[in-house]
Amino acid sequence: MVEKQMTAHRVDRAICGWFWEYVLAHAAGDPSKWGDILGMHPSGDAPLDGYRDYLGDINEDTIKDNFVIVYQILDEMMDNGFPLTTEPNILKELVAQPNMVSKMLNVMTGKSSTIGSKLPDATASFVPWRTTIVKDASNEVYVNIVEELDACVNREGVLVKCEACGEIEVNSSLPGLPELTLSFANPTIINDVRFHPCVRFRPWESNQILSFVPPDGQFKLMSYRVKKLKTTPIYVKPQLSSDSGNCRVHVMVGIRNDPGKPIDSIIVQFQLPPLIASADLTANHGTVDILADQTCVWTIGHIPKDKAPSLSGNLRLEEGLAHLHAFPIFQVKFRIMGAALSGLQIDKLDVKNTPSAPYKGFRAQTQAGRYEGCEREVAEAATEEQKNDSIMRLSWALVHSKQTDDVNRGIGMIEASLDKTTSPLQTREKLYLLAVGHYRNGNYVRSRQLADRCLEIQPDWRQASSLKKAIEDKIAKDGVIGIGIATTAVGLIVGGIAAALARKK
């Protein structure tokens, strides 16, 4: 695959051998790291993002099972080793996504190619990232602020470095050719911005406003960095002392600066120093595990109100070693849902050129993990009203997931809460989410029934009408394909019988 894209330069075998050893050294024992290998390309993350759109999670098994698709996508993306076509909507029209119908046709016809015969219209468009015909547009747009904190604290507890790396993630399902304008309340705090190709540079340079025509579906609008933050939300205080062949360990964790939202998924880990014969570590909250690579993982979860989590124990040094000369570095992981650590806030989102006013949703979080965050909101809801709202957000996230198990779980969650719903508005919303979930699972008949119930409650509901039309188009299309498959199968059977009779004669 490498030599195919580098046709102008023959690759020396010695270089290939060195490269292969380097790949094996980094991927050994973790097949998921093959995804990073696919991203090692001059076009940046575009190849990896394109593969994720087609295959979902990138790992060794998905690449093996869909090698023809991977090869064809790479062939369309690259031209003589240079990036050519990287927009997902164009690639999906050039190379059809794998499905059950295409696999059956490939088996029956003996062909494995999924290359389309028609050049996509978007290739000649001034907005090549957006397909000319948007299907299943539900007239809604969601904006997420996702941030990760990068901080370094020395042994005395002094903050050496603290900055936030963030991304603005957008999930757009808008009809037509919408014009979006996004503004921040405090844009001056962000640095090192990187934009999606849809963002216009001039409005940002003059007024620090994001003006763009969005792609359809999920995409990363921009990434940024906020430097020189003053504090961290939690603290970790390790104390290690060694003498006479023993090292005593005591680690405390607590909240330093309350962000106003729950801090959960706290994990403290450190590498046990070399020349350790045995380790006996316990914690008053959470669990402690020592992995095969001598990494100690303390899983705390959330910090209780009645006590401060602490880990203590003893490390036994090898014979002949009295003191520990190298102290470990402690790494901390945590998550805060509903808050951006940098303080970045969205001021306004304007949407133009749409048939009706769309639904707009905003969310902030410190780590990618939408479903887990919603689940915690459901578990910690103080009132029944808050619980219902959290269930609605979690259900929406699940039925719009690319994973079939998540979609099925979202459907089950909505069906379990549907009978308890008394508000006609919430009943309508839940019926619509059920229709979307069944549509994404391929149960078009059930989806159409639910869409009809939505329209009985509100006959002029545009989203339900659009969904019903998409369902009917899908049923009609699959019906034509099914007739074609049946006709082909009958033809093959009749042809086989005729050939057998001819041989007998």
What digits encode the pLDDT tens for the residues 436-466?
A: 888 888 888 889 899 898 888 888 877 788 7
pLDDT score at 199: 92
Contact 433, 441 (CB under 8 A): no
pLDDT score at 11: 59
Q: How many CB atoms lie within 10 A of CB 293?
A: 8
Name 381's Cβ contacts closer than 8 Å, sequence gap at least 6.
387, 389, 390
**Residue 485 clears pLDDT 50, i.e. is over it:** no
Write down all domains in the chain, each with its CATH number in brackets.
Answer: 2-124 (no CATH), 140-144+171-226+341-350 (2.60.40.1170), 234-336 (2.60.40.1170), 370-505 (1.25.40.10)
**For residue 73, which of 100, 56, 99, 54 has the smallest C-alpha distance?**
54
Cα-Cα-Cα-Cα dihedral sign, residues 267, 272, 278, 281: negative
**Residue 181 clears pLDDT 90, i.e. is over it:** yes
Lowest mean pLDDT among 240-254, 336-350, 381-395, 419-433: 381-395
pLDDT score at 23: 60
SS3 of 39-54: the string is CCCCCCCHHHHHHHHH
**pTM (whole model) above 0.85:** no
**Residue 10 clears pLDDT 70, i.e. is over it:** no
Q: Provide the mean pLDDT of the chain.
A: 74
DSSP letters spanning 324-353: --SPPPEEEEEEEBT--TT---EEEEEEES
Mean pLDDT, residues 455-483:
75
Q: Which residue has the tokens 């270089």?
A: 15
Confidence of residue 209 (pLDDT cuts 50, 70, 90): very high
User: How far apart, in whole angstroms, are the C-alpha atoms of residue 5 and residue 321?
Assistant: 56
What digits encode the pLDDT tens for the residues 332-384?
A: 888 888 888 888 888 889 999 888 888 887 877 765 333 333 444 454 556 66
Give the alpha-carbon dihedral of 472, 476, 478, 481, to 10 degrees: -170
Backbone angles phi, psi at 58, to 5 degrees: -95, 115
Name 143's Cβ contacts closer than 8 Å, sequence gap at least 6.
168, 169, 170, 182, 221, 346, 349, 360, 361, 362, 363
pLDDT score at 15: 56
Which amino acid would we find at residue 47?
P
Contact 315, 239 (CB under 8 A): no
Q: How many CB atoms lie within 10 A of CB 270?
A: 22
Tell me which of 187 and 84 has the higher pLDDT: 187
**Token pair of 104 as six digits:** 């059956």
pLDDT score at 337: 82
Backbone angles phi, psi at 151, to 5 degrees: -135, 150
Mean pLDDT, residues 102-130:
60
User: How far apart, in whole angstroms, are the C-alpha atoms of residue 84 and residue 77?
Assistant: 5
User: How far apart, in whole angstroms, are the C-alpha atoms of residue 340 and residue 324?
Assistant: 40
**Residue 505 clears pLDDT 60, i.e. is over it:** no
**Residue 34 clears pLDDT 50, i.e. is over it:** no
Cα-Cα-Cα-Cα dihedral sign, residues 389, 259, 266, 331: positive
DSSP H/E element including 19: helix 13-27
pLDDT score at 342: 85
Tell me which of 415 and 101 has the higher pLDDT: 415
Q: How many CB atoms lie within 10 A of CB 325?
A: 9
Lowest mean pLDDT among 87-91, 230-234, 290-294: 87-91
User: How far apart, in whole angstroms, are the C-alpha atoms of residue 110 and residue 115?
Assistant: 15
Confidence of residue 102 (pLDDT cuts 50, 70, 90): low
**Token pair of 423 as six digits:** 């508000």
Q: Which residue has the tokens 């050039």?
A: 94
Mean pLDDT, residues 172-193:
89
**Residue 257 clears pLDDT 70, i.e. is over it:** yes
pLDDT score at 244: 81
**For residue 81, which of 175, 182, 6, 160 has the smallest C-alpha distance?**
6
DSSP letters spanning 160-185: EEEEEEEEEEEEEE--SS-EEEEEES
C-alpha distance across the termini of the chain, in Å: 50
Backbone angles phi, psi at 310, to 5 degrees: -145, 150
